Chain A
Amino acid sequence: MNISFETKSNFTVIHLTGRIDVTNSNDLETELIRLFEDDRYNLLINCAELNYISSSGLRVFLLAQKKVMAAQGDLIICSLQPMIREIFDISGLSTIFKICKSEEEALQKI
């Protein structure tokens, strides 16, 4: 897994690449907590390059969602590959997250 950040307007765009599973979900959690410590609660997670996410990864997403909600920030997930989207749908988590088709669409919504 690879994580990179960029800032667009007042959002932090997080690009995830590769696989998120039990071995590296903690790394993602650490990175996200660091953002929260910087008071950055407006997040756009771009999953265009994300090939797989396990339940451990979903747990980190949920954690982020809860923190953002508590801080009245915004969390948008965009560009999900069909298989990842399916995981979100099966688990019902797509009802919890704001999910957009593309980064452009997400940025327009802000």
Chain B
Amino acid sequence: MKIQFNMNKSLSLRIAVYVLSFCMLLFLLVLLVFFFFSRKQIEEMTLKNAEIITSKSAMDVERTILPIIRVAQNYKWILENKQQSSAELYEMTRQVVENNPDVIGSAIAFEPNFFEKEGLYFSPYSYRENDSIKSMQLGNASYDYFYMDWYQIPVATGKSGWSEPYHDTGGGNSLMTTYSVPFYKNVNNEKKIAGVITFDLSLNKFTDSVSSLKILETGYATVLSANGTFVTHPKKELIMNQTIFSYASEINNPELREIGRIIQKENSGYVSSTLNGVERMLYFKKLSSSNWSIAVVFPKSEMYLPLHKISIILIVLVCIGLLLLAVIVSKIISRQIIPLRHFAGSAREIAKGNFSNQLPLIKRNDELKDLHNSFEYMQRKLTQYIEDLKQTAIAKEKIESELRIAREIQMGMIPKIFPPFPNLIEIDLYATLHPAKEVGGDLYDFFMLDENHICFAIGDVSGKGVPASLFMAVTRTLLRSVAPDQMTTRGIVNSLNKSLSTNNDSNMFVTFFLGIIELNTGIMTYTNAGHNPPVLIHPNGEVKAFEMTKDIPVGVFETFEYEEKTLRLSDNDKLFLYTDGVTEAENKEEEFYSEKRLITMLSKNYSLTPKDLISVVSGDVALHVNENEQSDDITMLSIVYYGSKR
């Protein structure tokens, strides 16, 4: 039960794992594609956003500055073409401050002694202080404005422009910049420099708006003046104290210096660089009305932060989904293969021999139905086969039992009581017949013809099986019935031969040795019809096989005339008769026991009684055969003649 359970589990699990692996791969691919395209999209979007923010800030600045520039141009035209009184000049400066909230102060500074009645210095100046506007004359010996940047540079270059940012030393700690415009007068048809108009602008509002710009998590905006001074920057210590170039050399970052150059040279663009160990993107734009630049800086990694968040959520969701999928898939498969489990059970039942075991019911017409049909077919066939086998076995059993009975009858015909003639002092006799597994055709027999004659025989029917055993039985029966009439070995064998040869279409024959011993004399007559010559063992240990005769086996030719020979046994002479089952006993190497070994064995044990002699030879044959199956009957007969006067 457990094995089966595991099998099912592992099958569903395996399929679930396959499905899951495929889904995982698919998801990974989708995620990669999504990630790749999203990244691109986000990159573009972020940069666009940075551009818009920067442009908007730039536009805000321009909106503040442009009116001032227009006023400046206007004032320049007035000053160059109209004669103004000093009071009017004061008024002009006052008005511009009053009308433009971003303008903190304005001055119209004249060249030395340009206004003769006002002396060397003349620069009407109005400025905002708290909520009121005050006017004053700016120049004097201690504030020699001719040498100030805001005056000196426009005069020298003849161009309007914005000064570098500076801290207002007078009114509050606000960051300022000054827009200076030089103006001229025609003196003796000659255009001569007359002075410089200035507007002081507070940068506070501007820097506040830029500083408040936020891009992504830690992105920031910065404003650089024309020469690269930080006008605004999240790091307050940089503002007004460092230029991008001085900062670059301070932190030893040549890349930053290069960026500074690009910003100065180009109108707008992107650069990326590693700043403070983080890869950052930078977008900058130059203000059209000045050479100042606004730049936004943000870490590149932050661009992808939302993407990473989405990705993590997606992965978690998909993992949960895949887990659910795995559970559902394995559940579905488990359910689908329940019949398989039943089939396994059925198979086990069938193995136990229970062929009528109920198979699981399959309603669907699928592979399981096929399996069901195959199983059903197997059950049917097995039942039939087993039935056939039973019949065969019964038939075989019958034949075997008949064979056994035949064997028993055959063996029953052989005398097996030893000593057979306890009252005879002249001889002792012993014989054995070890039947082979298959019914064979060996025989031996002995009986008294009369009080003074003992008749003994040994024979071997050709072939094996029931025919041989039948032939043996016939031979033995004939022998007993013929012997009392004939009384000589020749007569007996001739008579036997005639009977057996007649109508012997199967050409079966029996090799046959027949002997008769006259007990009071020891004279033995014998006829050997093609049988292995017996061995004569003298009491002195001399062992000798009988000579071969020219007589053929019994049952071959009806008209054959057999010979009879005579031999006189001395006292204690012993005879040893055997069938070829002894000499042709084979071991596994197909080696025969052989006549030679038999003779040697008999020589060694010449003094033993017939019973012991046969027992010793039997043992030796068994030793030779070892584990090989006995293929033929093994028959031995031994007689000792003690003599008449014992």
CB distance from B184 to the nearest CB of A (A): 140
The verdict on B532 contacting chain A, using a C-beta distance below 8 Å, is: yes
Contacts of B509 in A (CB 8 A): 55, 58-59, 62
A25 vs B508: C-alpha distance in the bound complex, in angstroms?
12
A59 touches B549 (CB 8 A): no
Contact with B along A25-56 (1 / 0, CB 8 A): 10000000000000000000000000000111
Contact with A along B538-560 (1 / 0, CB 8 A): 00000000001111110011000
Judge if A71 is at the interface, Cβ distance under 8 Å. no
The answer to whether the Cβ of B462 comes within 8 Å of any Cβ in the partner chain is yes
Q: Report the tally of A-B residue pairs with Cβ distances under 8 A.
A: 59
- Which residues of B448-497 have CB atoms within 8 Å of chain A's CB atoms? 460-465
Within the assembled complex, what's the spacing in Å between the Cα atoms of A92 and B463? 17
Say whether B532 contacts A90, CB under 8 Å.
yes
Contact B463 A25 (CB under 8 A): yes
- B623-636 CB mask vs A (1 if < 8 Å, else 0) is 00000000010000
The distance from the CB of A2 to the nearest CB of chain B, in whole angstroms, is: 17
B530 within 8 A of A: yes
CA distance A54 to B465 in the complex (A): 14
A62–B529 CB distance below 8 A:
no
Q: Give the residues in chain A near B438, CB-CB below 8 Å.
A: 22
Residues of B in contact (CB 8 Å), total 28
Is the Cβ of A66 less than 8 Å from the Cβ of B507?
A: yes
Question: Does chain B have a CB within 8 A of A93?
Answer: yes
- The reply to whether the CB of A91 lies closer than 8 angstroms to some CB of chain B is yes
- Does residue B643 face the partner (Cβ distance < 8 Å to A)? no
Quick one: which of A60, A66, A91 contacts B530, CB cutoff 8 A?
A91
Q: Does A95 contact B (CB under 8 A)?
A: yes
Question: A-contacting residues of B (Cβ < 8 Å)?
Answer: 438, 460-465, 506-509, 511, 528-533, 548-553, 556-557, 580, 632
- A residues with CB within 8 A of B: 22, 25, 54-56, 58-60, 62-63, 66, 89-93, 95-96
Q: Can you offer 16 A-B residue contacts whose CB atoms are under 8 A?
A: A22-B438, A55-B461, A55-B511, A59-B506, A59-B508, A62-B507, A62-B509, A91-B530, A91-B552, A92-B529, A92-B530, A92-B551, A93-B530, A93-B553, A96-B552, A96-B557
Beyond A58-B462, A63-B507, A96-B557, 18 additional contacts (C-beta under 8 Å) are A22-B438, A25-B463, A55-B461, A55-B462, A55-B511, A55-B580, A56-B462, A58-B509, A59-B506, A62-B556, A89-B548, A90-B530, A90-B533, A90-B548, A91-B553, A92-B530, A92-B548, A93-B552
